Structure 1
């Protein structure tokens, strides 16, 4: 029997990370002493060898035009309660000015009528409340 223990997911490929632009400290922290890239995702492999991402090591985005940090898990926790949404994951899209913008990856329920425009309006409303 395989025990499913969560830990940080790490990757190593033949292509090496060169650097984070103008950020040697972040570059040094991104790779461990064995050359593995530290993704910041927490997860485990199941008995079939499927990787399950269960959490994040760091749960805050630094967004330039918001005063307070943005916690993706708060948005995910709300969105997953909606009947149209089966799965959701908020990911960061890095920009060139030392920030990440949130993007939602959504799996709708098969009977959902939620459109892309409906989702944008919903998130805009939620963002005002947060």
Structure 2
């Protein structure tokens, strides 16, 4: 997902770990990622093996783990049932209207659009957990 379908919206470091928020370029929701250091017991492991508090810290639980640019990353997405795409991420007004028309079912009034700030807070919470266990 990171290389092919996402644009980096924000990148920073927390506890010495690389953190990112990407925007999905097809479905227009945000995703968060945190580096897992080489000396960490979760380095190189599938996200399904991560401690439950990692899953609980982020929307929908972890949904990603892989090597990205030589770093092991874990991540999550905000494209679950009950989540809505952020069509403000679509620059072209015509494409924004077409996307909304094609995907009307995603825009239920109770669905939540995850903002950059909300996803950043979850990434920071995950980075605090990852950084506390190396």
Q: TM-score range by the shorter chain?
A: 0.3 to 0.5
TM-score normalized by the length of structure 1? 0.33
Which structure has the greater CA radius of gyration? 1
Which has the larger helix fraction?
2
TM-score normalized by the length of structure 2? 0.33
Larger RCO (CA within 8 A; separation ≥ 6): 2
